[in-house]
């Protein structure tokens, strides 16, 4: 198992224990080492969503879709991120983006 995967597994335990700030630090270290490490980008999106940092969650969710543009799951996850951003902000732009991402997921699926 690569060093990044080992680091990622440690961070997942932090997420499971809801130690989100520590998890973010660990995930950012992983992303600094390899910006294309999809699992770290997905986890950053998830943890930023949990902490109400919707702009950062969206940034990392969109990065995942850039890295793996043919993976339907990534667009589904991005759609959920947009939906939660809408729920947290009531900003209507996120509804349209969530629908676009889900349509892309269905197209790929």
Q: Is the pLDDT of residue 10 over 90?
A: yes
pLDDT of residue 97: 98
For domain 3-108, the CATH architecture is: Alpha Horseshoe (1.25)
What whole-number distance in Å separates Cα of residue 75 and Cα of residue 108? Answer: 9
Where helices occur in 17-92 by DSSP H, the ranges are: 20-33, 38-50, 54-67, 72-89
Asked whether the beta carbons of 39 and 7 are under 8 A apart, the reply is: no
pLDDT of residue 109: 86
Mean pLDDT of 103-109: 96
Mean pLDDT of 50-60: 97
Long-range pairs for 63-66: beta carbons < 8 A, 24 or more residues apart:
63/35, 64/38, 65/101
Mean pLDDT of 10-32: 97
């Amino acid at each position: 198992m690569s060093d990044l995967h080992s680091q990622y597994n440690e961070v997942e335990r932090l997420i499971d224990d809801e130690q989100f700030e520590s998890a973010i630090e660990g995930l950012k270290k992983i992303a600094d080492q390899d910006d294309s490490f999809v699992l770290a980008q997905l986890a950053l999106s998830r943890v930023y969503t949990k902490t109400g940092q919707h702009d950062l969650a969206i940034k990392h969710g969109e990065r995942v879709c850039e890295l793996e543009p043919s993976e339907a799951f990534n667009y589904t996850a991005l759609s959920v991120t947009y939906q939660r951003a809408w729920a947290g902000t009531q900003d209507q732009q996120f509804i349209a983006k969530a629908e676009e991402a889900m349509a892309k997921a269905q197209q790929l699926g």
